[in-house]
Amino acid sequence: MNADPLDAEDFRTLGHRLIDLLADHLGTTARRQEPVLRWQEPEAMLASVPPVDPAGGADPLAFAARLCRDANHLHDPRFVGHQVSAPLPLAVLFETVTALLNNGMAVYEMGPLTTMAEHRLLEWLAARFGLPGEAGGVMTSGGSLGNLTALLAARQLCARGDAWQHGSERATVFASEQAHYCIDRAARILGFGAAGCVPIAVDEQFRMRPEALRAAIAHCRADGRQPLAVVASACTTATGTFDPLPELAAICRQEQLWLHVDGAHGAPFAMTSRLRERLRGLELADSIVCDLHKMLQMPALSTAVLYRDGRHATAPFAQQAAYLFADSADREWFNRGHRTLECTKRGFGAVAYGCLQTLGERPFVAALDHALDLAQHLATAVQAATDFELAVLPDCNIVCFRHTPAGIADLDRHNRRIRAAIVQSGTFYLVQTTLPRGLFLRCTLLNPRTTTADLDALLTAIRAAANRSTGD
């Protein structure tokens, strides 16, 4: 390496070699030639990573190779675990461009083109979700932050008085008991307290029960609290279930509540004709969150927060910052810093916009349809087997099931051990969740290269792990 760490030629040479290394990694993972995850206990992994050496001198290619080797390989078709996509190589390249440029976008001048690419991306997403032409929003870092941002808008627009100035401690949001934990967390961050997020009972399909919601709203009013917003899950994290959006929208209209849809995982399915019915009502939302790093193959994090009325995008943060914004009062639409908790942020909008402009929508829709096909295949295979039990018919691409052979007294322990054995063997990566009936194995099928043969092999691997485990 040259003595100058900013040297352009060094960057060129190293960059070419790094791309070669990453391309090899993509090839070997796609061909299932490496373990999905080389499992190591946390202590052993820490011991293998030397402390920072102030003198430096390590080989960057060796470190990059180690990063690839010891990562959880999301590009391996046998990765069927958490809801993080294997990013498109093109997106990774655009990500490198935006990282180098580091245009933070708090104000338009600090990212003129990235700001407008974000604007165009949001316009496209809003249209796909059926929102009206005046919809608008912002890109931010992750679904958790996105949900908090949308609920901040709901608080500012719907709570009594000026919540930004005086707080709003008795405001209350309602979300299904299956909602992602970040909703309860957001309510607490907003100062609503432990009673500020009311969990609403679900039916046997894990859908929020509208009559339970109505009762909870009435109870909340009787208690002297202020109902503010309903958070619909589209879909839930654990089982991939879509709440009944039209019914929840009707309740929100009658009760004059904000309807926020946490579509972090499931909102992109609005683009496939197959799930259009499940997502009917999405267009009625006051705000929607959608993670592009889940079902739209973007690198993490990349989250859209959309408002049905784009003017609401500046409601969450009603702050003056004279050193940054020339005129905070007029809420310049082109200064993204008015809209997010972040001041400087990454150029995620430009990354997704660049991919769409290059590839068009088709591969994204095809990947969504493929994910649905895989989920159907797995659910059908599980139902057909006498030694497996399906938790619930999948609405989309998340499938929960457990191994239930005769003679096992403790099914939770049995399935927990199976998962641990499979993950540690590196043959598949899957996760688990606890549902009312007990512990279930959980698969999210989002890699376009995963095949039905992979899923059949997964069931075989589970049976083999079970045999080893019961043989102990």
For binding to ligand PLP (CB under 6 A), which residues are involved?
83, 142-144, 180, 182, 233, 237, 262, 264-265, 291, 301, 303
Fill in the amino acid letter for 275: L
Please, what is the minimum distance in Å from the beta carbon of residue 17 to ligand PLP? Answer: 32
Q: Tell me the C-alpha distance between 142 and 290, whole Å.
A: 9
Cβ of residue 316: shortest distance to ligand PLP, in angstroms? 17
What are the φ/ψ torsions at residue 426 (nearest 5 degrees)?
A: 80, 10
Specify the residue, 139 or 381, whose C-beta has the smaller distance to ligand PLP: 139
Q: How far is the CB of 221 from ligand PLP (least distance, A)?
A: 27
> Residue 264 CB, nearest distance to ligand PLP (Å)?
4
For residue 108, what are the contacts with CB-CB under 8 A and spacing of at least 6? 115, 332, 334, 335, 336
State both tokens at 373: 């096909």
Q: Name the CA radius of gyration of the chain, rounded.
A: 24
- How far apart are alpha carbons 288 and 267 in whole angstroms? 8
SS3 209: coil
CB nearest ligand PLP: which residue?
143
Q: Give the C-alpha separation, 443 to 454, whole Å.
A: 12
Least distance between ligand PLP and beta carbon 259 (Å): 16
Determine the Cα–Cα distance for residues 105 and 102; give it in Å rounded to an integer: 9
Shorter beta-carbon distance to ligand PLP: residue 148 or 257 = 148
Comparison of 71 and 385: residue with beta carbon closer to ligand PLP: 71
Query: For residue 234, what are the CA distances in angstroms to 32, 92, 135, 207, 265?
Result: 32, 27, 19, 10, 7
- Long-range contact set of residues 197-201: C-beta below 8 Å, sequence gap at least 24: 197/172, 197/173, 198/172, 198/173, 198/174, 199/175, 200/174, 200/175, 200/176, 201/177
Shortest spacing between CB 76 and ligand PLP, in angstroms: 20
CB of 197 to ligand PLP, least distance (A): 14
Contact between 307 and 287 under an 8 Å Cβ cutoff? The reply is yes
- Which residue, 115 or 236, has its beta carbon nearer to ligand PLP? 236
What is the C-alpha to C-alpha distance for residues 471 and 289, in angstroms, rounded to an integer? 47
Q: Cβ closer to ligand PLP: 265 or 419? A: 265
Least separation in angstroms between CB 383 and ligand PLP: 25
Q: What gap in Å lies between CA 176 and CA 213, rounded to an integer?
A: 9
The β-bridge relationship of strands 287-291 and 258-262 is: parallel
Q: Return the sign of the alpha-carbon dihedral for residues 421, 423, 428, 432.
A: positive
Alpha carbon dihedral 10, 13, 16, 20, in 10-degree steps, equals -110
Residue among 302 and 469 whose Cβ is closer to ligand PLP: 302
Nearer to ligand PLP, 427 or 432 (CB): 432
The residue (of 125 and 381) whose beta carbon lies closer to ligand PLP is 125
Output the smallest distance, CB 206 to ligand PLP, in A.
12
DSSP 179: S
If the CB atoms of residues 304 and 381 are measured against ligand PLP, the closer one turns out to be: 304
Nearer to ligand PLP, 175 or 422 (CB): 175
The answer to whether the beta carbons of residues 286 and 144 sit under 8 Å apart is: no
Q: How far is the CB of 235 from ligand PLP (least distance, A)?
A: 7
